[in-house]
Chains A and B, each alone.
Chain A
Amino acid sequence: MTIPNAIETAHLRKTFGSNVAVSDLTLTVAPGEVFGFLGPNGAGKTTSVKMLLGLIAPTAGEMRLLGASARDHRVRQRVGFLPEHFRFHDWLTASEFLHLHAALYHMPEAAVRQRVPELLELVGLSLHAAQKLRSFSKGMLQRIGLAQALLNEPDLIILDEPTSGLDPVGRRLVRDIIRSLKQRGATVFLNSHLLSEVEITCDRVAFIKHGQVLQISSLQTLVEGELTVQVRAHPLTPQVVAGLSQWSQNARADGDHLTLTLPGEVDLPAINRYLVEQGVDVYALQPQKVSLEDLFIQVVGTDGGL
């Protein structure tokens, strides 16, 4: 038996009057994947997420979650969701808030009594369980929202900007939670602006603009891809630099600084050995990967989609 894809959309489209929010979204997220959904402001990311969760009805197209039609409310029994603006009923306490949403997931009372303290502990809000959400900071609201999205131990969790209100400690918490979800075999769909976060957590990313997928990249290939190497060494004579051409065609020296690009990291030891054999003193040799940010700008462009 094959496990169905966590998310499958085909030619998903949403227009508001003459305004096209999502023009043609087709993507597949495999089960157990941590999938990043990237794009400039106004690219249609939140509209797409809202369509998947039944908050917005698509104008056209198909969508399936966990093998079932996303239009069937029952599939959301296995889905967790943290909305972008995390506005909650702020007259509830943290604990009451989780009890309410557990009831909406139709969780049995005994399971709720066990799960709520566990989740409060997980997101670091145990001491604030009896405090009203009204008095919560932005970061605390995001944490309780995250706990809410984990109540039903979802097979698919959709996080819309989960770290926007969080400090570095909170962000690490989100990363750890995503990692443990992945270990459990759950699928994580992450809509985020924070590319460094996405780079650390995601398996694959989709770049979207004007509501269309421009490119889907595996972050594995990003890791294994081209490197830029920064070398600090002395003396970098023209002969030494010319000799590097056996590994790289674009070695450039500027004083004691040398820059070259390599297809991978396999040649690094040989380059180091070569420099030493040429009588060069090597002070630093730093390989740098193409960052997700570089890739983002390369794919999406610098106009920000405006």
Chain B
Amino acid sequence: MNIRNATILVIARLTFREASRRWVLWVAGIFGLIFLVVYAIGFIAIRRDILLHPPGQLMTKEIYGFILMAGLYVVNFLTTIMTVLTAVDTLSGEIASGTVHTLVSKPLRRWEIVLGKWLGFAAMMALYLLLMGGGVMGIVYVISGYMAPHALPGLGLMALGMLLLLSISFLGGVTLSTLANGVMVFGLYGIAFIGGWIEQFGSLLKNQSAVNVGIISSLIMPSEAVWRRAAYEMQSTLVRTFGGLSPFSSQSAPSRAMVLYAVLYAALMLWLAMRWFGKRDL
């Protein structure tokens, strides 16, 4: 058996081809491009205003940082949505339609199908994130010369958030119908989202109970915590120090331990998906 025919890679390539054949890649690419064009035009317009009435060097930098983080926030949100929308159906859809029967009856281990699909989606969404996130950063840098601090760790954390949702969508896809799986993943996302905000307020008001609610919700679903860590990495030192409440910035940065927890969480979800898919009747 040569490496080209390793089941995992065959399935990963199939995932890419499916996304391409079903126009997912192209539609995402076209609308991503439009997004970047709109963002660039908007940024140029704002910058022109800033150049006309310069608010001082420090403030100028903060405004650029704010607009960059707003762009990255939307990119993070889009990546989340895209990941769930595309991955939520990949296992449950194949199970429901019966296409899985010809796959699973081949000389392969079932977890190889799960891992192959996961890798395919992970690569695809990472590419999307890189083009969109990199695009936003590139636009801001080329036009204004401003670059976010810790851009690469920031993008890496955004990718981790994507992998979290991907792994949960896979786990749900083994046991739930496509629709129920989507409802579950977004339900978890909602818990993380509101928990994150309560934690932000709590941190601002020095209210430990509220902070605890946030921490618990992050343990249930760490996606929002990972985004806030990413935002923390990429925001300016001024915002880091003095804060300010906006979805694009982080008042209390989740710890490195939380990041590690998120990595383990994603790995566990994927492992469970592989295991459960190996056992279920098809």
Chain B residues engaging chain A, CB cutoff 8 angstroms: 1-2, 4-5, 7, 10, 14, 17-18, 21-22, 97-99, 101-109, 279, 281-282
Contacts and interface: CB of A to CB of B under 8 A. Distances in A.
Given A55-B101, A83-B102, A104-B10, A73 B109 contact: yes
A87 B106 CA distance: 15
Contacts of B14: 89, 100
Interface residues of A, number: 32
Interface of A: 16, 50, 53-57, 73-77, 79, 81, 83, 85, 87-89, 91-92, 100-101, 103-109, 145, 148
6 contacts: A50-B281, A77-B107, A81-B102, A92-B17, A103-B4, A105-B106
A98 to B, nearest CB: 11
B104 A54 contact: yes
A65 to B, nearest CB: 11
Contact of B102 (A50, A56, A101): A101
Contacts of A79: 105
B100 to A, nearest CB: 8
B5 A106 contact: yes
A45 to B, nearest CB: 15
Contacts of B7: 104, 106
Contacts of B103: 104
A83 B282 CA distance: 12
A89 B98 CA distance: 10
Given A54-B104, A57-B279, A87 B99 contact: yes
A55 B280 CA distance: 8
B5 to A, nearest CB: 5
Contact of A91 (B4, B22, B282): B22
Contacts of B109: 73
Given A56-B282, A104-B10, A74 B107 contact: yes
A143 to B, nearest CB: 14
A74 B109 CA distance: 9
A92 B102 CA distance: 14
Contacts of A57: 279, 281
A55 B99 contact: no
Contacts of A73: 107-109
Contacts of A54: 104-105
Contacts of B97: 87
B10 A83 contact: no
A56 B106 contact: no
B101 A105 contact: no
Contacts of A50: 101, 281-282
A101 B11 CA distance: 10
Given A87-B97, A108-B5, 14 more contacts: A16-B281, A50-B281, A57-B279, A75-B107, A76-B105, A79-B105, A87-B101, A89-B14, A100-B10, A101-B102, A103-B5, A104-B106, A104-B107, A106-B1
B29 to A, nearest CB: 18
Contact of A103 (B10, B17, B21, B22): B10
Contacts of B105: 53-55, 76, 79, 81, 83
A101 B106 contact: yes
A253 B98 CA distance: 56
Nearest to A104: B106
Closest 5 CB pairs of A and B: A87-B98, A77-B107, A104-B106, A91-B21, A83-B101
